[in-house]
């Protein structure tokens, strides 16, 4: 089993080294609002000391010169997709975990739309036990396992049977073992959605909903606008998201059930969420990392890896999403990692299944395009990728504080690497950055 493989490596690592001193590393901690060059002592899975200079440390401590490196709390992904079970050629649990560790994630939450879906305890138990590792391991995978810790895996339970939006699952039966409830698909039946929210309220679990009206989407392949006309691609109108969002917000107001809004992608949605929060509705919201980097102008290449759902927004949407995230209207950045095989994605743009991988790419690209560019502070970015996603999942955020568990990510913002099949740990390569050089790479994660 996957877990047994990781345990062997972690035991070996623990026996070989129980104490590390990271010297003059840039500590970024949103919880304590720290952005400072410090020494950090890690021992026995705990942060032992954080000081400007640590002179006294246990014998056999490994000293590491970390000038130029960044140490932050482990990253947290709100929702991503697994190929296993059902589509192991896209991604296995083993490759998904490796990709998450390589991307700096210490917590990873998986949507229930597998085959079979996570709508009953039998499927959930199989996933929690880590069965079915059909992936092949490369030397790079072994090296990663020996230097980083595998992330905690969490599983969303399906709201509806078969994630079909027709009949609710045994919510109470699943509640004890899932991180929360989500279909990862729109629930179009508003009467059913109302009942779901009423049943879910006393369970006290996170509920994630995607605002999307499939009828209004039609055959839309990209966001409707000037660019869609120029490229000759069918448009997906803004109202396909905003009308569904307005309905969800009304149901939240009626039931008072806290809800997380997934995959926000339009400027108008940001406005609606701001208005709802001002009214005191119990909502949080997220957008995907790629919607903070690209807009419809990137689609002139017709790259099927940029066929997403929801689609990339128009330039005004991109601006509103970035501003909404910085001001707290939007709470967190999700990765929404969606692996597909080469054959599935190598088709005409409008025919490609929507989705792209991102676990290994998100932090380097966001750092380079937002932090290095001077648009965001490092604290702002790390908050949106670590503490705020944890809070959306009703979890305690990790922090770099003496006495706390060492749930950490070490990042080199200057290291250059090329995105290729043999440098990615994901089985899938459906990304528009394939064969391009990126600046910034994860060096290690810690997780007790």
Q: Which are the catalytic amino acids?
A: 336
Q: Is 15 exposed, middle or buried (0-12, 13-18, 19+ CB in 10 A)?
A: exposed
**Which residues, in sequence order, are CB contacts of 153 under 8 Å at separation 6+?**
93, 97, 108, 110, 127, 128, 130
DSSP 259-280: EEEE----HHHHHHHHHHHHTT
The residue to which tokens 């279909």 are assigned: 183
Integer angstrom CA distances of residue 241 from 244, 332, 382: 5, 18, 27
Token pair listed for 442: 């994860």
Helices (H) and strands (E) in the chain, counts: 15, 17
The two beta strands, 332-334 and 437-446, are unpaired
Cβ neighbours of residue 156 closer than 8 Å, sequence gap 6 or more: 79, 109, 110, 111, 112, 118, 178, 179, 180, 181, 182, 184, 208
- Is 132 in contact with 116 (CB distance < 8 Å)? no
């Amino acid at each position: 089993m996957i877990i047994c493989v990781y345990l062997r490596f972690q035991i070996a690592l623990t026996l070989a080294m129980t104490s590390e001193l990271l010297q003059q590393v840039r500590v970024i901690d949103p919880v304590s609002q720290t952005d400072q060059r410090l020494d950090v002592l890690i021992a026995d899975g705990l942060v032992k000391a954080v000081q400007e200079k640590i002179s006294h440390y246990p014998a056999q401590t490994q000293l590491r010169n970390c000038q130029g490196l960044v140490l932050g709390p482990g990253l947290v992904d709100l929702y991503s997709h697994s190929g296993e079970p059902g589509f192991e050629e896209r991604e296995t649990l083993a490759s998904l975990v490796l990709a998450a560790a390589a991307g700096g994630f210490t917590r990873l939450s998986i949507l229930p739309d597998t085959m079979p879906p996570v709508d009953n305890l039998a499927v959930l138990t199989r996933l929690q036990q880590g069965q079915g590792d059909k992936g092949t391991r490369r030397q790079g995978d072994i090296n990663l396992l020996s230097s980083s810790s595998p992330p905690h895996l969490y599983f969303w339970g399906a709201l509806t049977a078969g994630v079909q939006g027709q009949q609710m699952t045994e919510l109470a039966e699943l509640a004890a073992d899932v991180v929360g409830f989500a279909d990862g698909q729109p629930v179009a039946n508003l009467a059913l959605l109302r009942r779901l929210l009423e049943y879910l309220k006393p369970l006290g679990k996170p509920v994630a909903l995607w605002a999307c009206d499939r009828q209004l989407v039609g055959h839309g392949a990209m966001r409707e606008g000037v660019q869609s006309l120029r490229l000759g691609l069918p448009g997906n109108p803004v109202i396909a998201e905003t009308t569904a969002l307005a309905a969800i917000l009304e149901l939240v107001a009626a039931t008072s059930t806290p809800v997380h809004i997934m995959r926000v992608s339009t400027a108008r949605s940001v406005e609606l969420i701001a208005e709802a929060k001002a009214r005191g509705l119990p909502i949080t919201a997220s957008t995907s990392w790629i919607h903070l980097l690209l807009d419809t102008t990137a689609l002139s290449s017709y790259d099927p890896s940029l066929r997403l759902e929801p689609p990339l927004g128009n330039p005004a949407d991109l601006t509103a999403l970035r501003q909404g995230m910085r001001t707290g209207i939007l709470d967190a950045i999700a990765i929404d990692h969606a692996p597909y095989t080469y054959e599935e994605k190598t088709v005409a743009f409008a025919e490609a299944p929507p989705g792209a991988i991102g676990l290994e790419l998100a932090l380097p690209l966001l750092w380079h395009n937002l932090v290095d560019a001077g648009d965001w502070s490092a604290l702002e970015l790390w908050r949106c990728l670590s503490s705020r996603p944890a809070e959306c999942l009703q979890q305690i955020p990790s922090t770099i504080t003496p006495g706390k568990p060492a749930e950490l990510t070490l990042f080199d913002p200057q290291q250059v690497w090329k995105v290729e099949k043999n440098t990615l740990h994901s089985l899938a390569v459906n990304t528009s950055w394939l064969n391009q050089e990126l600046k910034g790479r994860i060096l290690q994660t810690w997780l007790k």
